[in-house]
């Protein structure tokens, strides 16, 4: 004879299992974020995203690539939200109907780094164009990202302003790699490179490179966030994309960004309140 409560017991078990599965489905909701290697390599996202994920029950899948590749992923509807640093390209992306609700989030700056020996003698300068002209004239090694990132796009602008055809020159190495890898490569080659300050700080101990030029207004590096346009791609996770945008620009998100200070140095500064 079966236990008199066996049917009720089995029903209760099934209800509990169903609720657990339902809870797991909610917990497993994903948000695809395409972002730059600088926000990833610096450790910023690992420091700030868990608070957002806990609050909103979302798992953020970080796709860390150069800005150009991030924009292309978004154009194809392969991600839900973007955090990148190339304001003209971001504005063009929105104007073309691919993105919506762009907001300024934060900024840091680029620095020109190189070996302690400084063969082009640019140490201590505050003019990045003057320093790059000296590097080209001395044919000292320079490692470029070469990956259509926001950093490489800025570097290309500098060479264009100088009227120097760096790409293809024997002293100019196009790596096609992310910022952390390029800094490692520059350290091994005793070469110069342009880097965002945050990634440089995260890798300086192992690369041995020094900051040689900083403080030029041309080195300002703003970051923007935007959602992929749901009118173009209805299947994107627009609700959570907007939740992330709102959180990054809220008091909580801004506080988390400002509090990110590895080794006591603030590496990202929040944009003026919008």
12: left (phi over 0), alpha (psi -120 to 50) or beta: alpha
Output the pLDDT for position 13: 53
Q: What does the alpha-carbon distance between residue 126 and residue 131 come to, in Å, rounded to a whole number?
A: 8
* 116 and 238, same domain (yes or no): no
Which range, 16-20, 23-27, 95-99, is most confident? 95-99
Using one digit for the tens of pLDDT, what is the confidence trace for 236-266? Answer: 999 999 999 999 999 999 999 999 998 888 9
Residue at which a domain ends, from 219, 237, 257? 219
Q: Which residues are CB-contacts of 129 (< 8 A; sequence separation ≥ 6)?
A: 158, 161, 162, 216, 218
Output the pLDDT for position 12: 54
Residue 136: give the domain boundaries: 109-219
Using one digit for the tens of pLDDT, what is the confidence trace for 27-46? Answer: 548 999 999 988 988 899 99
**141 phi and psi angles, rounded to 5 deg:** -65, 135
Using one digit for the tens of pLDDT, what is the confidence trace for 107-121? Answer: 999 999 999 999 999
Mean pLDDT of 181-195: 97
Question: Are the CB atoms for 193 and 199 separated by under 8 Å?
Answer: no
* 89 and 177, same domain (yes or no): no
* 99 and 124, same domain (yes or no): no
* 206 and 80, same domain (yes or no): no
Written as six digits, the tokens of 273 are 């309140």
Domain total for the chain?
A: 2
* 119 and 210, same domain (yes or no): yes
**165 phi and psi angles, rounded to 5 deg:** -90, 85
Place 230 in a pLDDT band, splitting at 50, 70 and 90. Answer: very high
Cα-trace Rg, the chain: 23
Is 273 within a domain? Answer: no
Output the pLDDT for position 265: 87
Mean pLDDT of 88-96: 96
* 117 and 180, same domain (yes or no): yes
Q: What does the longest C-alpha to C-alpha distance in the chain come to?
A: 95
* 90 and 175, same domain (yes or no): no
Question: Are the CB atoms for 191 and 173 separated by under 8 Å?
Answer: yes
Written as six digits, the tokens of 97 are 């109907």
* 42 and 73, same domain (yes or no): yes
What CATH number is attached to the domain comprising 68? 3.40.190.10
């Amino acid at each position: 004879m079966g236990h008199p409560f066996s049917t009720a017991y089995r029903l209760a078990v099934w209800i509990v299992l169903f609720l657990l599965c339902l809870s797991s489905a909610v917990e497993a909701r994903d948000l695809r974020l395409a972002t730059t290697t600088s926000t990833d390599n610096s450790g910023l996202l690992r420091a700030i995203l868990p608070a957002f994920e806990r609050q909103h029950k979302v798992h953020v899948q970080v796709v860390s690539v150069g800005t150009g590749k991030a924009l292309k992923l978004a154009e194809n509807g392969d991600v839900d939200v973007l955090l990148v640093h190339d304001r003209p390209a971001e504005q063009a992306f929105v104007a073309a109907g691919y993105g919506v609700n762009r907001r300024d989030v934060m900024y840091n700056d680029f620095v020109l780094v190189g070996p302690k020996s400084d063969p082009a003698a640019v140490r201590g300068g505050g003019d990045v164009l003057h320093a790059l002209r000296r590097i080209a004239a001395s044919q000292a090694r320079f490692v470029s990202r070469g990956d259509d990132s926001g950093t490489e796009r800025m570097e290309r602008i500098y060479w264009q302003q100088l009227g120097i055809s760096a790409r293809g020159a024997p002293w100019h190495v196009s790596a096609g790699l992310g910022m952390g890898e390029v800094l490692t490569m520059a350290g091994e080659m005793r070469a110069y490179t342009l880097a965002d300050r945050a990634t440089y700080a995260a890798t300086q101990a192992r690369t041995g490179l020094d900051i040689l030029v900083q403080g030029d207004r041309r080195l300002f590096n703003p970051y923007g966030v935007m959602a992929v346009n749901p009118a173009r791609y209805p299947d994107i996770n627009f609700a959570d994309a907007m939740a992330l945008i709102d959180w990054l620009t809220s008091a909580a998100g801004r506080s988390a960004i400002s509090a990110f200070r590895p080794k006591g140095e603030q590496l990202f500064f929040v944009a003026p309140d919008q």
